[in-house]
Amino acid sequence: MGLHRAWPDAMITGVDLHPQKNYPFNFVQADAMEYPLDGFDFIWASPPCQKFTALRTMPNAKSHADLLTPTRERLRGIPYCIENVEGAPMFPPVLILCGTMFGLTTKDGRAELRRHRIFETSFPVGLTPPCNHNGHLVIGSYGGHGRDRRRTVGVYGDSAGISHARKRSIGVWGHAGGSSVRDGTQQFSTEQRREAMGISWMNGNELSQAVPPAYSEFIARQVRF
């Protein structure tokens, strides 16, 4: 959707091994590592990230193949952007984007989206907005400095379509957030997660794998053909 917003006249084609019934543009069910790339002016690639997530260190973690490296090899010579999680071995230029850079919040503005993703591009990207966790800096009533903290919207895998955001937590990155014992727990509905992500057409599990369109629109506007 972000690419469409940057280039309204472009034909967007999505390719995935699995059916994507809610995909809003032209979709082809196929192996992205084999699908012909002839005729495409730009490629957005999001290879599976399980190989590089923090969850890979868990005792019950499964072994996953590195699909990022062969994806990069396939895209040489074509303008591209590769998206993945923090910790993935990306080549420069690399940028990190967060929902707070784009003011992504729930509709009521009381919870902000802290969702870090890293991007490798085949082209230079200009200055990015500042990451702005916890709202603005305020002067505390005790005379010191404090943070005007907003709640964090967590967007990660949950078959029930519900995520848990911890009040005053430092951040919720990837597909799982740690526990905060300081301020209790706030649950957010799928609809609230849609609001924060800027995505209205996905279910809860699809949201957990998604990149906010604000991210891809920002990057697409940097491309010069």
- The DSSP secondary-structure symbol of 17 reads S
User: For the whole model, what pTM was predicted?
Assistant: 0.76
Return the structure tokens found at 81.
Answer: 């952007």
Sequence spans of domains, the chain: 2-220
Angle at 118 between CA 203 and CA 28, to 5 degrees: 45
Q: What's the sign of the alpha-carbon dihedral 198, 82, 35, 51?
A: negative
From residue 179, give the alpha-carbon distance in Å to each of 95, 182, 214.
27, 9, 28
Q: Residues 34-93: pLDDT tens digits? A: 999 999 999 999 987 655 555 455 555 566 578 889 999 999 999 999 998 888 888 887
- Alpha-carbon gap, residue 182 to 167, rounded angstroms: 8
Burial 71-84 (b: 16+ CB within 10 A, else e): bbebbeeeebbbbb
